[in-house]
Amino acid sequence: MDLSNFTVIFQKLSFFKNKSLLIPVIISLIGILLFIPTQLMSSGLKEQVDKESVSVLARVRNLSKAAVSDELLDKETKQLQDQAEDANEIELLAKETTQRKLLVYNIFDVNDPNTLPDLIFLQFGQQYTGGIDKMIAESKSGDCPTEIELTRAIDESGAKSRALMPQQGRMMFDEPMMNPMSRLNRGAPGLRTMSKLERAVVDQKCMARAKEISFYVTPAQMSGYALWQNYNTNIQKVDAVEDCWYYQLAYWIIEDVFDTVNTLDSGYDNVLNAPVKRIMRVTFKMDSGFGGMRRTVRRGRITSGTQKEADNTDKPQYVLSDDKQSMLTETCTARYCDEDIDVVHFNLVCIVSMQDFMPFMEELCSAKEHEYIDESGQTHTYKHNQITIIETKISPVDREQADHLNYCYGDAGVIELDLVCEYIFKKNAYEDIKPESVKKTLLGEETE
């Protein structure tokens, strides 16, 4: 600020010709000019202080009047601890779903499979086939009468008139026993050439069998049963260990299928009124149809196969990606083997009452109990829920076809239910016992 300009102005005023008054007046004017912005600034600052600092102080004072009690603090602490325990419990329960009893111990956790004796693989086969036989016996299930049983029934009834039957018509009774449906599949007249009396004896025998059992099933329709009945131990030990491992997975899946059927059929007299009439197959290969050739369209291609071909390859395979042959169908869950889970697909075909196919699928995917033996030998009972249905096919049943001849399903309508399912294994539950060669396969490495 240039004070000389003020001095010139005031000298022109007669009132300020007295120089002794000039300087005090100038100082006063300067003070007034500085005071006005200072007041404005202090007013804004006061407003800001009232708005922020004072209000914060008021909130602090209010909080101080309502301090958190020790009881509330303990409650909050316990809630956090409960949440942590819930998370740990969920992880433990997920792990327990895959911790299951093994058919044979001390077979998967060895460093060198070549040290294992051949006897242990034969023992596994006995446990596998014996376990399936036990499932069938405990469920009071079985198959329809065989050709030999029907022939004997006709002989015992005195109804058989072999001399009056055409030679071609006697084929069914004269040939050695084969698959119960084998002659019909070859086009032999079979039952069509029998007399009415003989046919009545056969019907009576089949009906009597249906009244004795809860549902139809045969061991041969379970994947791996024929393989382990006469297992060839003249192979590399590492391959034998792999076979045991994959069929251990298959055995757990077969157990779940039987548990499902037993639960639904409990409380019913027999197969005639039971919801589930028959298990036709449990397999891990889509073209492993029983009773001849099966053609099916999967993933945009037509495949075909025979049971003989399926016997060599019909075992679980881990689903690694969407372009692997281990997939039985396009997955709607997009679940593949990763660092947390292992995934396997399987195919289940059964005959179910029309009104019970939805309850059957719900029960198949429900929680089930299993036992686990820990390292100390103590047995634990856990629950698992590992099945998801990813494809469903429903077909009518023609009871006059060879696949259903001599099977009595009752008066209610029935359907053939063809399911493709995925089975989930929690990896950290059995990774310690998983064979090294299987681990390498999962990693995409070649085994020696």
pLDDT tens-digit series, residues 84-126: 555 555 666 678 878 899 999 999 988 899 999 999 999 999 9
State the residue for tokens 């693989």.
Answer: 121
Confidence (pLDDT) at 376: 82
List the one residue out of 319, 344, 339, 368 whose CA is nearest residue 428: 339
* 324 has a pLDDT exceeding 50: yes
Structure tokens at 102: 């093994």
Exposed/middle/buried for residue 197 (C-beta within 10 Å: 0-12, 13-18, 19+) = middle
* 300 has a pLDDT exceeding 90: no
**Do 53 and 100 fall into the same domain?**
no
**Do 15 and 104 fall into the same domain?**
no
* 272 has a pLDDT exceeding 50: yes
**Do 51 and 101 fall into the same domain?**
no
Residue 347 CB coordination number (10 Å): 22
- Classify residue 211: in a domain, yes or no: no
How many domains does the structure of the chain reveal?
2
* 399 has a pLDDT exceeding 70: yes
**Do 27 and 97 fall into the same domain?**
no
**Do 227 and 280 fall into the same domain?**
yes
Residue 152 CB coordination number (10 Å): 13
**Do 273 and 365 fall into the same domain?**
yes
**Do 235 and 301 fall into the same domain?**
yes
Across the range 404-421, mean pLDDT stands at 95
Helix axes 19-49, 3-12, angle to 10 degrees: 130
Confidence (pLDDT) at 423: 97
Confidence (pLDDT) at 380: 87
**Do 8 and 105 fall into the same domain?**
no
**Do 33 and 102 fall into the same domain?**
no
Contact 347, 328 (CB under 8 A): yes
Q: Is the dihedral of CA 133, 137, 142, 146 positive or negative?
A: positive
CA angle at residue 52 from 49 to 58, to 5 degrees?
Answer: 105
Q: What percent of the chain has pLDDT over 90?
A: 47
- Classify residue 322: in a domain, yes or no: yes
- Classify residue 426: in a domain, yes or no: yes
Contact 419, 347 (CB under 8 A): yes
Contact 121, 231 (CB under 8 A): yes
| Cα distance between residue 43 and residue 395, in whole Å | 87
Residue ending a domain, among 13, 38, 60, is: 60
Task: List the domain range (segments joined by +) for residue 252.
Answer: 93-115+219-442
From the DSSP assignment, how many helices (H) and strands (E) are in the chain? 15, 8
Q: pLDDT, tens digit, for every residue of 124-151?
A: 999 999 999 999 999 999 999 999 999 8
Q: What is the DSSP string of 16-57?
A: G-SHHHHHHHHHHHHHHHHHHHHHHHHHHHHHHHIIIIIHHH
**Do 49 and 108 fall into the same domain?**
no
- Classify residue 279: in a domain, yes or no: yes
- Classify residue 135: in a domain, yes or no: no
Q: pLDDT, tens digit, for every residue of 154-209?
A: 888 875 554 444 444 444 434 333 333 333 333 334 555 678 888 899 999 999 99
- Classify residue 333: in a domain, yes or no: yes
**Taking all residues of the chain, what is their mean pLDDT, rounded to a whole number?**
79
| Cα distance between residue 240 and residue 233, in whole Å | 7
**Do 22 and 111 fall into the same domain?**
no
Q: pLDDT, tens digit, for every residue of 348-370?
A: 999 999 999 999 999 999 999 98
Contact 390, 373 (CB under 8 A): no
- Classify residue 9: in a domain, yes or no: yes
**Do 97 and 36 fall into the same domain?**
no
Give 43's pLDDT tier (boundaries 50, 70, 90).
Answer: low
Report pTM: 0.71
- Classify residue 238: in a domain, yes or no: yes
